[in-house]
């Protein structure tokens, strides 16, 4: 994979706290390169991306953290987000009856839309690749 990409890429910013103030000069080039890649036998199956950079053929489990009888928390699988072969798109399947909401409630709370900027960080741990 690396032989198709220029070996002289600049280093990305190393501090998430300054993410809005620094821009990786070759970030867009690297992003576009990654979007075009397909890994047939990846650890989690086939890895490929659509034109927006979203993973195709992905399979994600959705878990809900819930209190149990001993007042410890347990994880309960409540759904999946997966690639559906028949519709050829990602599909979300959630069993809302299994979800315990904040405040130990079984009824979904009223949601409010608030404008916000979401910052996502990634821990640099194995098998993370820079």
| DSSP β-bridge partners for residue 74 | 66
Distance, in Å, from the CA atom of 40 to the CA atom of 110, rounded to the nearest integer, reads 42
Peptide bond into 19 cis (omega under 30): no
Mean pLDDT of 102-121: 80
Chain segment 15-53, per-residue pLDDT in tens: 766 666 667 888 888 888 888 989 888 887 788 888 888
* pLDDT of 79 strictly over 90: yes
Long-range (24+ apart) CB contacts under 8 A made by 31-35 are 33/4, 33/5
Pick from 61, 67, 79: nearest CA to 105: 67
Q: Which pLDDT score is estimated for 99?
A: 96
What six digits make up the tokens of 14? 């190393």
* pLDDT of 61 strictly over 80: yes
Torsion sign, CA atoms 61, 64, 65, 70:
negative
């Amino acid at each position: 994979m690396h032989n198709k990409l220029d070996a002289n890429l600049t280093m990305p910013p190393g501090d998430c706290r300054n993410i809005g103030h620094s821009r990786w000069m070759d970030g867009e080039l690297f992003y576009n390169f990654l979007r075009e890649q397909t890994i047939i036998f990846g650890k989690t199956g086939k890895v490929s991306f659509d034109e927006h950079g979203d993973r195709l053929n992905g399979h994600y489990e959705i878990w809900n953290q819930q209190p149990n009888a001993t007042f410890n928390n347990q994880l309960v699988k409540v759904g999946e987000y997966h690639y559906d072969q028949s519709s050829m798109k990602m599909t979300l399947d959630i069993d809302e009856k299994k979800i315990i909401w904040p405040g130990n409630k079984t009824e979904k709370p009223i949601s409010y839309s608030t404008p916000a900027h979401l910052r996502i960080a990634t821990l640099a741990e194995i098998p993370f690749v820079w």
